[in-house]
A and B are shown apart, each in its own frame.
Chain A
Amino acid sequence: MNTSKTPVKLTPLHSAAQRLGATFIEQRGWRIPQVYTTLEDEVVAAQERLTLADETSNGKLLLEGDQAESVLMDTFDLGSLKINEGHDGIYRLRSDLFFISTPPGREISIRKKLTTASAASEQFVTITEVTHGRAEIRVIGPHSQELLSKVCGLDFHPSAFPNETAKQSSLAKTTQLIIRCDIGELPAFSIIGVQSLGPYVWDTMMEAGTEFGVVPIGRAALAALGEE
């Protein structure tokens, strides 16, 4: 058997990042953009204008079943969630469907926990990892809402779309899960959709964000902004 190369995971936005001049690092098996220009410029752009970041490497799990909520509550210290509400990366999409977002790599342990809890409960609950199947584009910056208002019909005002809220909607004529996940006072949204549409959604948002001075940012800037 010839397996000389160590497997490396690439996001669907990898080619776009290469074209934009990113330097890469490997984290939890994923090759992800570290910096596009300079750390300082990218942090300032996020704080003052608008930025996009590829966060596809975040873990993503779907938990489906009428008893999914009880399995979650058994596994985590979690209260009841209404549809679209979220807490600590767990979002209720339907009465019987939850989406779980984790830092890169942590989806494995969470999946194990949930599988164990599900088996113990003897409930019919399906846990599916969809990390590889979903691109995740993070929109960060004061102009986040304005950018999204150009590609999506939802109301992104905090009163209508508070932090830790997840809504499924059409964005740039594609189906996306949109999660508000502010970084402190900085408005931020995660756009999560099938990975095959990721490059299209990225390009569309980069184009729509031109008027706001949008730039891509890498892992270093995310870390500097306080993201795990």
Chain B
Amino acid sequence: MRTEQDALTTTSNRLHPKQGEVIDRSTTIRFTFDGVEYTAHPGDTVASALTAAGVKVLSRSFKYHRPRGLLCCSGHCPNCLVQIGDEPNVRACTRPVEPGMEVRAQNVWPSLNRDLLSLTQLGSRFMPVGFYYKTFIRPQKLWPLYEHTLRHAAGLGEVDIDTPLGEFDKQYLHTDVVIVGGGPAGISAALSAAETGAQVLLFEENPALGGHLRFTVPLESSSTTKASKDLPELLEAVDRQPNITVFTDTSVLGWYQDNWLCAVKGARLFKIRTKSVVVATGAYETPLIFDNNDLPGVMLGSAVQRLVHLFGVLPGGQVVIVTANEDGWDVAADLQSLGVNVAAIVDEREPSACASPYREGLTNAGVPVFYRHTILEALGSNEVRGAKIARLDGQGEISLATAQSLQCDLIVTSMGWTPATELAYMAGGKSEYHEDRAEILPVSTPPGIYVVGRAAGTHAVNSQISEAQRAGSNAAAFVGFGEFDESTAYSSGVLEPRRTSERVCVPGKKKQFVCYCEDVTDEDVETAIAEGYDSIELLKRYSTISMGPCQGAMCSMNTIHLCARANDWTVQETGTTTARPPTTPVTLGALAGQNMEPVQTTPIHQWHLDHGADMMVAGLWLRPNHYGDPAAEATSVRERVGLIDVSPLGKLQLTGPGVPELLERIYTNQWDNLRVGRVRYGVMCNDEGVVLNDGVCAHVNDETWYMTTTSTGATTIFEWLQWWLQSGWGEGIHLTDLTDTYSAFNLAGPQSRTVLEKLTERNLANKAFPYMRLRSAKIAGVSCRLLRIGFTGELSYEVHCPSGYALHVWEALMDAGREFDIAPFGVEAQRILRLEKAHIIVGQDTDAMSDPLSANMAWAVKLDKPDFLGKPSLMRISAEGPKQLLVGFKMVEPNVVPDEGLQIVESEADGQLKIVGWITSSRFSPTLEEAIGLCWLPPDIASQNGASFTIRMDGHLAEARVHHGAFYDPDGERLRM
């Protein structure tokens, strides 16, 4: 750790306080970077604080592990990615410092300053672009080793899988106009749109509105003078305008169909529906390609201005500025006014082409100016120590004989801009290359999409403002607020020349990086094109240029130029790559949002928990699996009485004269003869005759039927029925889902009648209320529907009561059953009980191929009915005979319970085992004291009661025998008692 004194000395790169800076110098906070303690002020970013402390190397590059330092200082390049705590790939230039923050370099071994993985550079000739597609292919068995090694050598950051889930959420926003970008153009467009009465959302990726005016110099002679003076006024106007909602620190990630935008602010994802969009996203400053152009100390002009004006940090003391337009002179004047030693201005233009208002002042101040020169190389090993420059001849070629070195610790390039127009192109905008500006600019956009400011190629601030005002008005007019200003299209056309050269690459012999994210050099680009990847889209995919964290912000323009040059095409002919979301990196957590997993619980849920239920998930439902001993629960039902919560059962009410006909169509058995008060079991099939669902349906009164479905199939069957009703079968039928209106409990066991009689005046005698009947009754004072049915195989009553009374009725039943040792039973006991009766569970014993004839339910299929869903298929199956049959089985060794899903096999002549069937259900029956189950078998085996077959178990074979009919009470006498 550094000492107190050490830490204090790290503030040497701070400038004197100045207006507009965002740091609070009255307070000092501490943080660490790779274990060394540093100080910062509130408002500092990690990168500004480290730069203030003189730290230049912040990261190592992706492939060659070259040292990297601040380049763009705006969150658009990969050079300052660090690990903070368990969060990888944090952009140090935009992440505010927090007290105690632990920042680490990532992708280094053993340390940032001595990264041995940088030795990979020595073998770079063996690792050209796309090498990973060609090498490490053979021998195939070594691929895991290669993969392991490569994954350690490359990559960014470390993901700790033990990191607790983050707090993420999302929010939907709706508005008339969205303005993306809060610079002078964006603000002006927002104000203009809002004045019409339109609701405006203004998104800015930086912590404050203002765009480049926050860090450019408001000198009187500057082209930005008027707007700079007007920035506070613009901000005040935004504050006063109630129709504008501002979102700072918010990146708009993408545009989707019908103006559906996606944005992220920290851990929150916004999904935005708007009617019109103004893209005022500004421009990325384009790096220059020359030898060692990635050396720490090589920075973009706008990055230096951000550091100086927002954070009061000077990244170097001796500066060489390389430019080809007036922007570089602006930076030079800016630095010189702060007392920085501007070692030289290297301008590739002729003196006559320079129209900077600062030219005279800088020259008179003795700043050396090298006209018609450019930079050849950044000198230094881990950071800039000098710059090698050379003169350009009449044809613009470099005259190496004129090369000379300049001493400096900071090289600032200011060569041109890449308009940030991704959103406009995602929305369907078209682009065109402008030779005079060396910029690709939008020439058309879909209706309702407007591009303004630097994104549209307009750099003069006053022009930006007037153009944006018109665009804002038109965006509002497009929505129906105010009138269109026909004097403008998408852009004002104020395209003042900013750049006089198309130079993006200076010939050299050392590494020159086009893509900082993926360590792709100019040589790599040429190699890829020589290999045939000459189209810009192919080049992108092969080289991975623009596919890293910067998403093309730093490299796309230069790549297009290089591609054009290598192919001898124009830039326009070369074209651009397709813009896709996200425009900036986003965490998966933000995309996932709040953890919303709907869970359905019954009104008795808390009672179950209070009584020790082990809950299980069934569809969306939470149900008691058991209360400790499922076998005992099953025995309680067989010998006394038990109570199970079956509230998740689907409960559908059908009313109207058309219901009988519908039932005939959707069930495989007969329904038009079901009398009022009766209940019948039915099976539903789809067109292919595959079993969809099963359950009982009761005829409640003349025009009302009450259908139950499986718990997990309730929603599906409701929607399926709705589909049929709306497709021509709905005449005279109304369908209502009462699944949640009624809760249901099954009171089962030989004592169930006695228990229920304690709670009702209804005559429950077998004759008055026989098996498969429906009755209305007051149970414990609550009007209920009683269905006498029996999935468990015992005398049982299904009590359906209004859900608000559910706990009252449940507790009344438990109280009434106490003298009979009633016990609640869960799903597991129910499964044992039903298996003892050989009742199937749709979805467990059947699958997407199972028909009812094969599933031992031929008794529930009436092929002589006029028609029903699945009939043609079942007719065919009936004629041809099933290929498999679902039957019961008992194990020869009664204590061996085969797992569900195990294969049933047969020995072939060659000794090989052939799969002939599978187990669908199996349990040890506490009633029969032996293992039983259901399985699918070929008909020749399944049709023979007692036939033997073999189950392949874990490591051995086990014998079982076919069992026809129910295992328990095969005649159903206990149901009817």
Contact = CB atoms under 8 A, between A and B. Distances in A.
B346 to A, nearest CB: 52
A23 interface: no
B788 interface: no
Chain A's interface: helix, strand, loop or mixed, by majority?
mixed
A204 B596 contact: yes
A87 B854 CA distance: 55
B587 to A, nearest CB: 18
Contacts of A155: 172, 174, 273
Contacts of A54: none
Given A1-B760, A126-B734, A150-B171, A173 B808 contact: no
Contacts of B740: 132-134, 194-196
Interface string A118-141: 000000101011111110000000
Interface in B644-693: 647-648, 653, 655-657
A27 interface: no
A101 interface: no
Nearest to B271: A153
Contacts of B803: 12, 132-133, 195
Nearest to B609: A15
Nearest to A10: B807
B736 A126 contact: yes
A3 B739 contact: no
Interface residues of B, number: 56
Interface in B786-828: 802-809, 811-812, 815-816
A1 B808 contact: no
Given A7-B782, A132-B803, A174 B653 contact: no
Contacts of B594: 150, 204, 207-208
A133 B602 CA distance: 11
Nearest to B657: A124
A129 B781 CA distance: 19
Given A132-B741, A173-B598, A149 B173 contact: yes
B596 A173 contact: yes
A2 B174 contact: no
A155 B782 CA distance: 42
Contacts of B597: 173
A197 interface: yes
Nearest to A126: B734
A53 B297 CA distance: 60
Nearest to A135: B740
Interface string B172-203: 11100000000000000000000000010000
B907 interface: no
Contacts, number: 139
Nearest to A65: B734
Nearest to A19: B606
Interface string A197-215: 1011000100110000000
A149 B269 CA distance: 12
Contacts of B761: 1
B171 A149 contact: yes
Interface string A58-90: 000010110000000000000000000000000
Nearest to B647: A196
Interface string A145-178: 0100111111101001000000000001110000
A9 interface: yes
Contacts of B647: 196
Nearest to A156: B174
A98 B33 CA distance: 64
Most chain B CB within 10 A, of A151, A157, A196, is at: A196
A133 B803 CA distance: 7
A173 B271 CA distance: 15
B220 to A, nearest CB: 45
Given A5-B780, A7-B780, A150-B171, A62 B736 contact: yes
B170 interface: yes
Nearest to B610: A15
A130 B598 contact: no
Interface in B475-532: none
Contacts of B601: 12, 196, 199-200
Given A15-B605, A64-B734, A208-B594, A149 B656 contact: no
B759 A149 contact: no
A118 B647 CA distance: 31
A197 B271 CA distance: 25
Contacts of A146: 171
A5 B812 contact: yes
Nearest to B607: A15
Given A126-B655, A149-B173, A195-B603, A7 B808 contact: yes
B738 interface: yes
A5 B736 contact: no
Interface in B570-617: 594, 596-603, 605-606
A2 to B, nearest CB: 5
A84 B802 CA distance: 28
A228 B170 CA distance: 34
A11 B758 CA distance: 26
A6 interface: yes
A11 B809 CA distance: 14
Contact of A196 (B173, B621, B805, B815): B621
A30 B804 contact: yes
A208 B595 CA distance: 11
A1 B758 contact: yes
A173 B593 CA distance: 12
A223 interface: no
A8 interface: yes
Contacts of B760: 1
Nearest to B811: A5
B732 interface: yes
Nearest to A193: B740
B435 interface: no
B642 to A, nearest CB: 19
Nearest to A161: B174
Contact of A172 (B596, B732, B734): B596
A197 B172 contact: no
B169 interface: yes
B602 A196 contact: yes
A136 to B, nearest CB: 12
Given A6-B781, A196-B600, A197-B600, A132 B802 contact: yes
B174 A5 contact: no
Contacts of A131: 741, 802, 804
Interface in B697-749: 732, 734, 736, 738-742
A172 B736 contact: no
B262 to A, nearest CB: 13
A3 B172 CA distance: 51
Contacts of B804: 9-11, 30, 56, 131-132
Contacts of B620: 197
Interface string B611-634: 000000000110000000000000
B738 A130 contact: yes
Contacts of A62: 736
Interface of A: 1-3, 5-12, 15, 30, 56, 62, 64-65, 124, 126, 128-134, 146, 149-155, 157, 160, 172-174, 194-197, 199-200, 204, 207-208
Pairs A-B, 8 closest by C-beta atoms: A133-B741, A9-B804, A155-B174, A196-B600, A133-B740, A132-B802, A194-B740, A126-B734
25 contacts: A2-B812, A3-B812, A5-B808, A9-B802, A9-B804, A9-B808, A12-B601, A62-B736, A64-B734, A124-B657, A128-B736, A130-B741, A131-B741, A131-B804, A132-B802, A146-B171, A153-B172, A154-B172, A155-B273, A195-B740, A196-B602, A196-B621, A200-B600, A204-B596, A207-B594
Interface of B: 169-174, 199, 271, 273, 594, 596-603, 605-606, 620-621, 647-648, 653, 655-657, 732, 734, 736, 738-742, 757-761, 780-782, 802-809, 811-812, 815-816
Given A2-B812, A133-B741, 10 more contacts: A1-B759, A5-B780, A5-B811, A131-B802, A150-B172, A153-B271, A155-B174, A155-B273, A196-B740, A200-B601
